[in-house]
Amino acid sequence: MGSKPRQRSTADERRQTVLNTAIRAFAAKGYYGTTTVEVAKAAGISQGYLYRLFPDKESLFVAVIEHCSQRLRENIATAMASVTSTEPSVVLAQLSASYLALIADRDLLMLLMHGNCAAGEPAIREAVRRCYAQQVEYVRAASGASDEELHHYFAESLLANVVVAIGADSLDAPWARTLRA
Protein backbone atom coordinates (compact mmCIF):
# COMPACT_ATOMS: atom_id res chain seq x y z
CA MET A 1 0.00 0.00 0.00
CA GLY A 2 1.36 3.34 -1.00
CA SER A 3 0.93 6.43 1.07
CA LYS A 4 -1.45 9.12 -0.04
CA PRO A 5 0.16 11.95 -1.92
CA ARG A 6 0.61 14.98 0.26
CA GLN A 7 -2.17 17.49 -0.29
CA ARG A 8 -0.92 21.05 -0.63
CA SER A 9 -2.62 23.86 1.23
CA THR A 10 -4.30 26.58 -0.73
CA ALA A 11 -3.17 30.18 -0.21
CA ASP A 12 -6.43 30.87 1.66
CA GLU A 13 -5.82 27.92 4.00
CA ARG A 14 -2.25 29.07 4.59
CA ARG A 15 -3.46 32.61 5.20
CA GLN A 16 -5.92 31.30 7.81
CA THR A 17 -3.17 29.25 9.46
CA VAL A 18 -0.93 32.32 9.57
CA LEU A 19 -3.73 34.45 11.05
CA ASN A 20 -4.40 31.89 13.79
CA THR A 21 -0.69 31.57 14.50
CA ALA A 22 -0.25 35.35 14.51
CA ILE A 23 -3.08 35.75 17.02
CA ARG A 24 -1.20 33.50 19.45
CA ALA A 25 2.14 35.21 18.78
CA PHE A 26 0.84 38.78 19.04
CA ALA A 27 -1.26 37.87 22.08
CA ALA A 28 1.85 36.66 23.87
CA LYS A 29 4.23 39.52 23.07
CA GLY A 30 2.23 42.30 21.45
CA TYR A 31 2.73 44.06 18.15
CA TYR A 32 6.08 45.57 19.08
CA GLY A 33 7.49 42.44 20.73
CA THR A 34 6.62 39.94 18.00
CA THR A 35 8.70 39.44 14.87
CA THR A 36 7.53 38.15 11.53
CA VAL A 37 10.27 35.51 11.80
CA GLU A 38 8.52 34.15 14.92
CA VAL A 39 5.12 34.13 13.22
CA ALA A 40 6.46 32.44 10.09
CA LYS A 41 8.34 29.80 12.09
CA ALA A 42 5.29 29.04 14.27
CA ALA A 43 3.12 28.78 11.13
CA GLY A 44 5.61 26.42 9.49
CA ILE A 45 6.35 28.71 6.56
CA SER A 46 9.26 30.82 5.41
CA GLN A 47 9.38 34.51 6.18
CA GLY A 48 9.40 35.11 2.41
CA TYR A 49 6.12 33.25 2.03
CA LEU A 50 4.67 35.20 4.96
CA TYR A 51 5.51 38.38 3.07
CA ARG A 52 3.75 37.06 -0.03
CA LEU A 53 0.60 36.66 2.09
CA PHE A 54 1.03 39.94 4.01
CA PRO A 55 3.30 42.72 2.73
CA ASP A 56 4.60 43.64 6.20
CA LYS A 57 4.09 43.11 9.92
CA GLU A 58 1.66 46.00 10.20
CA SER A 59 -0.65 44.60 7.51
CA LEU A 60 -0.50 41.20 9.23
CA PHE A 61 -1.50 42.76 12.54
CA VAL A 62 -4.31 44.71 10.85
CA ALA A 63 -5.57 41.46 9.30
CA VAL A 64 -5.47 39.82 12.73
CA ILE A 65 -7.51 42.69 14.23
CA GLU A 66 -10.03 42.34 11.38
CA HIS A 67 -10.19 38.56 11.93
CA CYS A 68 -10.88 39.07 15.65
CA SER A 69 -13.48 41.72 14.84
CA GLN A 70 -15.26 39.15 12.68
CA ARG A 71 -15.15 36.66 15.57
CA LEU A 72 -16.74 39.29 17.83
CA ARG A 73 -19.56 39.87 15.33
CA GLU A 74 -20.10 36.12 14.95
CA ASN A 75 -20.30 35.84 18.73
CA ILE A 76 -22.99 38.53 18.82
CA ALA A 77 -24.93 36.83 16.02
CA THR A 78 -24.78 33.49 17.82
CA ALA A 79 -25.92 35.06 21.09
CA MET A 80 -28.74 36.89 19.32
CA ALA A 81 -30.02 33.61 17.91
CA SER A 82 -30.94 32.52 21.45
CA VAL A 83 -32.31 35.84 22.72
CA THR A 84 -35.99 35.54 23.58
CA SER A 85 -36.69 39.16 24.50
CA THR A 86 -36.80 42.43 22.63
CA GLU A 87 -36.10 44.41 25.83
CA PRO A 88 -32.71 46.07 25.28
CA SER A 89 -31.53 45.46 28.85
CA VAL A 90 -32.27 41.74 28.56
CA VAL A 91 -30.59 41.54 25.15
CA LEU A 92 -27.50 43.38 26.46
CA ALA A 93 -27.32 41.09 29.50
CA GLN A 94 -27.30 38.05 27.23
CA LEU A 95 -24.70 39.65 24.97
CA SER A 96 -22.56 40.39 28.04
CA ALA A 97 -22.67 36.76 29.13
CA SER A 98 -21.72 35.67 25.63
CA TYR A 99 -18.87 38.19 25.51
CA LEU A 100 -17.50 36.96 28.85
CA ALA A 101 -17.44 33.43 27.47
CA LEU A 102 -15.63 34.66 24.34
CA ILE A 103 -12.87 36.50 26.21
CA ALA A 104 -12.13 33.32 28.14
CA ASP A 105 -10.08 32.71 24.97
CA ARG A 106 -7.00 34.41 26.38
CA ASP A 107 -5.33 34.76 22.98
CA LEU A 108 -8.30 36.68 21.59
CA LEU A 109 -8.53 38.82 24.71
CA MET A 110 -4.85 39.69 24.80
CA LEU A 111 -4.79 40.39 21.06
CA LEU A 112 -7.61 42.89 21.53
CA MET A 113 -5.74 44.50 24.42
CA HIS A 114 -2.50 44.68 22.40
CA GLY A 115 -4.45 46.21 19.49
CA ASN A 116 -5.46 49.10 21.73
CA CYS A 117 -1.85 49.50 22.85
CA ALA A 118 -0.52 49.57 19.27
CA ALA A 119 -3.12 52.12 18.13
CA GLY A 120 -0.37 54.72 17.88
CA GLU A 121 0.40 53.21 14.48
CA PRO A 122 -2.01 54.85 11.98
CA ALA A 123 -3.07 51.68 10.11
CA ILE A 124 -3.57 49.79 13.36
CA ARG A 125 -5.49 52.71 14.87
CA GLU A 126 -7.84 52.64 11.87
CA ALA A 127 -8.32 48.86 12.17
CA VAL A 128 -9.08 49.17 15.89
CA ARG A 129 -11.50 52.06 15.20
CA ARG A 130 -13.27 49.97 12.54
CA CYS A 131 -13.50 47.09 15.02
CA TYR A 132 -15.10 49.28 17.69
CA ALA A 133 -17.38 51.00 15.16
CA GLN A 134 -18.58 47.67 13.80
CA GLN A 135 -19.19 46.26 17.27
CA VAL A 136 -21.07 49.33 18.49
CA GLU A 137 -23.28 49.53 15.43
CA TYR A 138 -23.90 45.77 15.37
CA VAL A 139 -24.90 45.72 19.05
CA ARG A 140 -27.02 48.85 18.54
CA ALA A 141 -28.92 47.22 15.66
CA ALA A 142 -29.25 43.87 17.43
CA SER A 143 -30.35 45.22 20.80
CA GLY A 144 -32.27 48.41 20.07
CA ALA A 145 -30.42 49.92 23.05
CA SER A 146 -30.08 53.65 23.63
CA ASP A 147 -26.73 55.41 23.47
CA GLU A 148 -26.61 55.45 27.29
CA GLU A 149 -27.29 51.69 27.47
CA LEU A 150 -24.66 51.03 24.80
CA HIS A 151 -22.17 53.20 26.67
CA HIS A 152 -22.75 51.18 29.84
CA TYR A 153 -22.54 47.86 27.96
CA PHE A 154 -19.22 48.72 26.32
CA ALA A 155 -17.79 50.26 29.50
CA GLU A 156 -18.54 47.01 31.34
CA SER A 157 -17.11 44.95 28.47
CA LEU A 158 -13.87 46.93 28.47
CA LEU A 159 -13.61 46.62 32.25
CA ALA A 160 -14.22 42.89 31.88
CA ASN A 161 -11.25 42.77 29.49
CA VAL A 162 -8.99 44.21 32.17
CA VAL A 163 -10.44 42.04 34.96
CA VAL A 164 -9.92 38.85 32.96
CA ALA A 165 -6.52 39.91 31.59
CA ILE A 166 -5.08 40.51 35.07
CA GLY A 167 -6.78 37.48 36.61
CA ALA A 168 -8.95 39.53 38.96
CA ASP A 169 -11.89 37.34 37.98
CA SER A 170 -10.47 34.59 40.19
CA LEU A 171 -9.21 36.68 43.13
CA ASP A 172 -11.05 36.92 46.42
CA ALA A 173 -9.98 40.41 47.38
CA PRO A 174 -12.14 43.48 48.06
CA TRP A 175 -10.74 45.45 45.13
CA ALA A 176 -11.26 42.52 42.73
CA ARG A 177 -14.83 41.97 43.91
CA THR A 178 -15.49 45.69 43.39
CA LEU A 179 -14.28 45.51 39.79
CA ARG A 180 -16.40 42.41 39.16
CA ALA A 181 -19.56 43.85 40.74
Q: Which of 10, 7, 22, 49 is nearest to 110 (CA)?
A: 22
- 58 pLDDT band (50/70/90 cuts)? very high
Give the CA distances from residue 171 to residues 32, 60, 66, 107, 159, in Å, rounded to whole numbers and listed in that order.
30, 35, 32, 21, 15
- Find the mean pLDDT for residues 31-51: 95
Per-residue pLDDT, 181: 86
Per-residue pLDDT, 12: 84
- 54 pLDDT band (50/70/90 cuts)? very high
Q: Tens digit of pLDDT for each residue in 106-118?
A: 999 999 999 999 9
Per-residue pLDDT, 11: 76
| Domain residue limits at 152 | 5-179
Per-residue pLDDT, 1: 52
pLDDT score of 172 more than 70 = yes
Q: What is the pTM of this model?
A: 0.90
**CATH for 172:** 1.10.357.10
Question: What's the domain count of the chain?
Answer: 1
- Mention every residue, 6+ apart, whose C-beta is less than 8 A from residue 127: 61, 62, 65, 66, 69, 115
DSSP state of 45: S
Per-residue pLDDT, 99: 96
